[in-house]
Amino acid sequence: MRSVPRVAGGGADSRDGGSLPGMPAPAPAGPPPERRRPLDVAALIPIVRRIVAARVPDRATADDLVQETLARVLAAVERIEPGMVEPYAIVTARNVVATMWRDQDRQRRHQHRVVDLRPPQLPDEDVLAEEDRAAMAEALTRLSERERSTLLAHEVSGQDTHSLAAELGSTAGAVAAQLNRTRARLRVEYLLAADRVEPPTPRCRPVLLALSSGDRRRQREVDAARHLLECEVCARLSEPLMGRGRSRDDEVRVAVHADADVVAARQAARDLATRLGFSPTDLTGIATAVSEVVRNIVRFADAGEVLVELLDSPRRGIRIIARDSGPGIPDVQEALRDGYSTYRGLGLGLPGARRLMDEFAVASEPGRGTTVTMTKWREDA
């Protein structure tokens, strides 16, 4: 068997292996342009066929896939380094087979949707459950073998962390930590699979993972908040993940969609601030500032989020971060001036809130959104 398909030297037509059945002539037979290297495609056939046949029992399908593979190799031949054609063909063959599987799988999974369109409205529980199962199965396949088997052993077979640790030559604590990470990943992969999306950017998965694991340090590292404003896919997917890691009781998150959320946000801020012993005057000032800032979200951005957190250093205080993914403020300086108003308020929203707080910052990007960060310190803490 030839190990490496030779590239014939010179410009000779090297299609010496006969034509490929059922395949359009891959290249003009005439004198090729300089950069075109003649290729002994026929030499690839045995190995490609062997690879495909090993995976696909049905002969007709296998033939199709061999053709497909060769077509792809020929199409790419100009980009392939001499000497790399055979490995490239092998990889391509595998991919083609996998793609077919995926397509079949997808078809199978989507079949119910075709059916689903006919009976109107009523969400069919079975269908939902089936989708759910499919998404979970898909998510599981995206875990590594080790992650998957450990998780299943624990969750399904009920094996405890100690015996798992013994098997894996690890400690119970490490296994528990790994399980937590795996669950976090599984949640992310499940959401992606259920939504049938691939994350549009390389930052998406790390951000979702950080949210899923509730790891605040990690979330800061990957600047999760910023990313959620910028990435629609993640913003949508992250909603069920947002509640994670809320074991901390020194912060509150309020999603903002409607009028009523303005009241909810300012009350959440007041409640949290009360714990630091702010005076009634300061508490009301904080609540009022939150009210102004959050109203802007409802008015201009439709949706956003408010994070209220207590601070320990450099002093005790409370910080409010109000984010939205709205149209942004074209001129922040202008917006901070008294009298700026684009709605039926008194034009005191931002400048007024700034006067009520100790620190106040607005970051805004037109088309991207606005983040208002404001802090009130305890006077004598």
Partner 1 sequence: MTVGPRLFSILRQGTCLIASIHTALDDSQLLRFQEDLIATIGRDRARGVVIDVAALDVLDSFATSTLRDIGEMARLRGAATVIVGIQPDVAIAMVRLGLRTGVLETALDLEEGLALLGDRMAGSPAARR
Partner 2 sequence: MSTEDDQDTGEVAAGAAPDDEILLPQLVAHLREHRNRLRQEWVGRIDQAHLLQAMTSQEVAAETTSVYDNYVEVLETGSVGALQHYARDLSERIIPRGVETDEVVGIVLLLRDVLARSLFEKYQRDLPLLNRVLDAYEPAANRIANTVAGSFVDERERVIRQQQDSIRELSTPVLRVRERLLILPIIGVLDRERARQLTEQLLTGIRAHRARVVVIDITGVPDVDEAVANHLVQTVDASRLMGASVIITGLSPEIAQTLVMIGVDLSRMDTIGDLQGGLEEAERLLGYTVTRDSEAAGP
Task: Give contact residues for partner 2 (rule: CB under 8 A).
Answer: 279, 281, 379-380
For residue 380, the minimal CB distance to partner 2 (Å) is 6
DSSP string, 113-171: HHHHTSS-SS--HHHHHHHHHHHHHHHHHTS-HHHHHHHHHHHTS---HHHHHHHHTS-
Residue 327: name its binding partner from partner 1, partner 2, none (Cβ under 5 to 8 Å by kind): none
Choice between 170 and 291, CB closer to partner 2: 291
Q: Could you give the 3-state DSSP secondary structure of residue 253?
A: strand
Choosing from 5, 206, 326, 349, the residue that interacts with partner 1 (CB under 8 A) is: 349
For residue 333, the minimal CB distance to partner 1 (Å) is 18
Of 71-79, 204-212, 305-313, 353-361, the segment contacting partner 1 by CB under 8 A is 353-361
- What pairing do the DSSP bridges indicate for beta strands 304-311 and 251-256? antiparallel
In whole angstroms, what is the distance from residue 361 CA to residue 350 CA? 10
In whole angstroms, what is the distance from residue 369 CA to residue 328 CA? 4
Choosing from 12, 174, 346, 381, the residue that interacts with partner 1 (CB under 8 A) is: 346
Choosing from 355, 359, 361, 366, the residue that interacts with partner 1 (CB under 8 A) is: 355
Residue 380: name its binding partner from partner 2, partner 1, none (Cβ under 5 to 8 Å by kind): partner 2
Tell whether residue 275 is a contact of partner 1 (CB under 8 A).
no
Helix 161-168, helix 145-155: angle, nearest 10: 150
Tell whether residue 340 is a contact of partner 1 (CB under 8 A).
no
Q: Tell me, what DSSP letter sits at residue 5?
A: P
Question: How many Cβ atoms sit within 10 Å of the Cβ of residue 218?
Answer: 16
Tell whether residue 348 is a contact of partner 1 (CB under 8 A).
yes
For residue 355, the minimal CB distance to partner 1 (Å) is 5
Choice between 252 and 276, CB closer to partner 2: 276
Of 128-136, 155-163, 194-202, 289-297, the segment contacting partner 1 by CB under 8 A is 289-297
Choice between 103 and 379, CB closer to partner 2: 379
Torsion of CA 230, 231, 234, 238, to 10 degrees: 20
For residue 99, the minimal CB distance to partner 1 (Å) is 52
Q: Show the CA angle centred on residue 89, arms to residues 87 and 91, nearest 5°.
A: 70
Choice between 153 and 289, CB closer to partner 1: 289
Contact 190, 136 (CB under 8 A): yes
Helix 172-195, helix 204-213: angle, nearest 10: 130
Burial of 332 (0-12, 13-18, 19+ CB in 10 A): middle
Choice between 125 and 380, CB closer to partner 2: 380
Beta-bridged to residue 359, according to DSSP, are 375
Residue 68: name its binding partner from partner 2, partner 1, none (Cβ under 5 to 8 Å by kind): none
Choice between 13 and 379, CB closer to partner 2: 379
C-alpha Rg value of the chain to the nearest Å: 30
Binding site for partner 1 (CB under 8 A): 259-260, 262-263, 266-267, 270, 279-281, 283-285, 287-289, 291-292, 295, 298, 338, 344-349, 351-353, 355-356
